[in-house]
């Protein structure tokens, strides 16, 4: 009862704060566009919304929390004959491979302008932004369009060496590859250069095919190929699922499929944290704050070659820091839950294993990583998406006009008006807050599954709640922070 009374008092305090907050401040947005947006009030309100959701969910019975993630069954055609058709999936994969090879050639011999050449626009705008975001809504598109599975299933499987990767290493290779990929985005001197990107994509294409031939698809896709792992996790945020064998659809709150997973391996949990950590540092390394830390004048940026090593060490350090902070929150939660159990109550101590709860809770950071990626790249997709349309009309850069866009002009005028930028920023902030609220519900679901009493659930959730509230502020601050790189 004392715990419940304490939580009641906290809720009342938060609502008093919400009703009296009047803070506002100037804001610099979108790298050089200076606007008077009161971002502080939105950041504080967003954080309080997340914290309020944490406090409110603490009062709900476990069955009610579980019911949030119980999907509804919808009797719609499942098109089972399409989605279970292996030949069709392999055919689409082969088409995808052909497109990737064409893009590699275009990148190597086409225009060196990354806003004209199809390769950087396709990779960084369509694949890394649009396809990434679509997985959280529509499910595992990558399982259909990845450029490896078709050729492997139809030809290379029969020439494989049959070796297996040691299970003991788990997903560590995928974590290393993923962080290296983000290192290319952040630290390479010219990741947008079409010729340079062409070599990178070709190298990764060959690297993956060699891995499939030597170790086979099962172990390579589960332990090394980071994008297959990434997109399979993101697909579990989709509210939709088509049931096998023509049994209709299921629809539920985003994340319900992710929570159906049992016994997530520890290295997969670290991979999920790496997605969040790498994406977060992708935003941090552009801010005035970071540039000042590495002794760079943000108003006179000397070029990417001057920050290669700070960026490389920064992304590695950011991931290690996130691992440590998340682990400390889990450790503190277990310590606080067990504190006070002594003597006759010694048997009442929780037997929840640290590694088990660490792995289970890591799935709750997935919506945070997804919404931050979407909000971070929103304006980039709005601008570069227009360049992509123009490039589609002239894919070879030879003056052709396939789509009939003679007078097509890319516009960024909406970034020069306070009203439109306010709408964009509020959309980004709303995405971040919504993602954190879903993460809170997912975390509470996981905790309630592992602890027996309401008191233990609430107490253990305190450090996790602080972690998520802090990350809400951090994510909104990143969106609002002045950019200088």
In the predicted model, what is the mean pLDDT of residues 308-317? 94
Predicted TM-score of the model (pTM): 0.88
List residues bridging with 72 in a β-sheet.
251
Between 270 and 408, where is the model more confident?
270
Residues 6+ apart with CB under 8 A from 61: none
Copy the structure tokens of residue 163: 């070796």
Copy the structure tokens of residue 481: 């922070």
Confidence of residue 241 (pLDDT cuts 50, 70, 90): confident
Confidence of residue 83 (pLDDT cuts 50, 70, 90): low
Above 80 in pLDDT, residue 467?
Answer: yes
Between 82 and 173, where is the model more confident?
173
List residues bridging with 73 in a β-sheet.
250
Above 50 in pLDDT, residue 294?
Answer: yes
Distance CA 386, CA 391 (A): 9
In the predicted model, what is the mean pLDDT of residues 92-99? 97
> So what's the pLDDT on residue 26?
34
> So what's the pLDDT on residue 42?
66
Between 398 and 170, where is the model more confident?
170
List residues bridging with 35 in a β-sheet.
27
> So what's the pLDDT on residue 3?
44
User: Buried b / exposed e across 464-480, counting CB within 10 Å, b at 16+?
Assistant: bbebbbebbebbbbbbb
Q: Hey, where are the domains in the chain?
A: 2-340+350-480
Distance CA 72, CA 374 (A): 27
Helices 418-450/39-57 angle, 10° precision: 20
> Using an 8 Å Cβ cutoff, are 89 and 144 in contact?
yes
In the predicted model, what is the mean pLDDT of residues 104-133? 94
Confidence of residue 420 (pLDDT cuts 50, 70, 90): confident
> So what's the pLDDT on residue 293?
92
> So what's the pLDDT on residue 9?
43
Helical ranges in 21-112 per DSSP H: 39-57, 62-68, 80-83, 86-109
DSSP character for 71? Answer: P
Between 318 and 62, where is the model more confident?
318
Distance CA 484, CA 59 (A): 44
Of the candidates 381, 483, 484, the one whose C-alpha atom is nearest the C-alpha of residue 431 is 381
> So what's the pLDDT on residue 413?
78
Between 149 and 159, where is the model more confident?
149
Task: Convert the pLDDT of each residue in 21-63 to its tens digit.
Answer: 443 333 333 444 333 456 676 677 777 777 778 777 777 777 7
Query: Mean pLDDT of all residues in the chain?
Result: 84
Copy the structure tokens of residue 406: 């003679």
Check the CA dihedral 167-170-176-181 and report its sign. positive
Above 70 in pLDDT, residue 154?
Answer: yes
Please report, rounded to a whole number, the percentage of residues in the chain having pLDDT higher than 70: 86
DSSP string, 402-453: TT--TT-----GGGG-HHHHHHHHHHHHHHHHHHHHHHHHHHHHHHHHH-SS
Between 140 and 159, where is the model more confident?
140
Distance CA 6, CA 58 (A): 12
Task: Convert the pLDDT of each residue in 349-403 to its tens digit.
Answer: 567 889 999 999 999 999 999 999 999 899 889 999 999 998 888 888 777 878 8
């Amino acid at each position: 009862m004392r715990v419940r009374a304490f939580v009641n008092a906290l809720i009342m305090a938060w609502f008093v704060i919400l009703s009296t907050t009047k803070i506002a401040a100037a804001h610099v947005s979108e790298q050089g566009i200076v606007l008077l947006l009161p971002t502080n009030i939105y950041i504080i309100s967003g954080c309080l919304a997340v914290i309020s959701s944490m406090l409110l969910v603490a009062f709900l019975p476990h069955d009610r929390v579980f019911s949030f993630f119980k999907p509804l069954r919808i009797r719609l055609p499942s098109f089972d004959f399409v989605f279970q058709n292996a030949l069709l999936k392999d055919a689409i994969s082969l088409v995808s491979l052909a497109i990737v090879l064409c893009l590699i050639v275009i990148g190597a011999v086409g225009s060196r302008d990354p806003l004209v050449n199809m390769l950087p626009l396709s990779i960084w705008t369509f694949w890394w932004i649009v396809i990434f975001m679509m997985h959280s809504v529509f499910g595992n598109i990558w399982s259909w369009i990845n450029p490896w599975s078709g050729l492997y299933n139809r030809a290379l499987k029969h020439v494989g060496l049959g070796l297996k990767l040691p299970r003991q290493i788990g997903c560590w290779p995928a974590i290393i590859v993923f962080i290296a990929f983000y290192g290319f985005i952040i630290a390479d001197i010219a990741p947008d250069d079409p010729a340079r990107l062409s070599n990178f994509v070709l190298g990764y294409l060959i690297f993956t095919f060699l891995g499939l031939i030597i170790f086979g698809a099962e172990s390579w896709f589960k332990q090394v190929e980071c994008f297959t792992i990434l997109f399979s996790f993101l697909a579990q945020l989709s509210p939709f699922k088509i049931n096998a064998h023509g049994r209709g659809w299921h629809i539920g709150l985003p994340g319900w499929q992710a929570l159906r997973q049992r016994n997530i391996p520890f290295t997969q949990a670290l991979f999920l944290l790496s997605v969040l950590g790498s994406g977060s540092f992708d935003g941090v390394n552009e801010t005035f704050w970071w540039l000042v830390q590495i002794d760079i004048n943000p108003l006179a940026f000397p070029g990417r070659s001057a920050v290669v090593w700070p960026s490389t060490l920064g992304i590695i350090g950011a991931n290690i820091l996130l691992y440590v902070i998340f682990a400390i929150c889990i450790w503190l939660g277990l310590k606080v839950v067990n504190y006070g159990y002594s003597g006759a109550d010694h048997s009442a101590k929780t037997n929840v294993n640290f590694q088990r709860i660490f792995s289970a809770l890591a799935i709750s950071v997935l919506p945070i990583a997804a919404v931050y990626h979407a909000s971070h790249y929103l304006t980039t997709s709005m601008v570069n998406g227009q360049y992509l349309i123009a490039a589609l009309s002239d894919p070879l850069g030879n003056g052709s006009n396939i789509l009939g866009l003679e007078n097509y002009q890319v516009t960024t005028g909406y970034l020069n008006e306070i009203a439109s930028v306010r709408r964009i920023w509020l959309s980004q902030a709303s995405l971040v807050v919504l993602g954190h609220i879903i993460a809170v519900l997912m975390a509470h679901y996981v905790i309630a599954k592992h602890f027996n009493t309401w008191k233990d659930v609430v107490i253990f959730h305190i450090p996790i709640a602080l972690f998520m509230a802090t990350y809400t502020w951090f994510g909104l601050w990143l969106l609002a922070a002045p950019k200088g790189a």
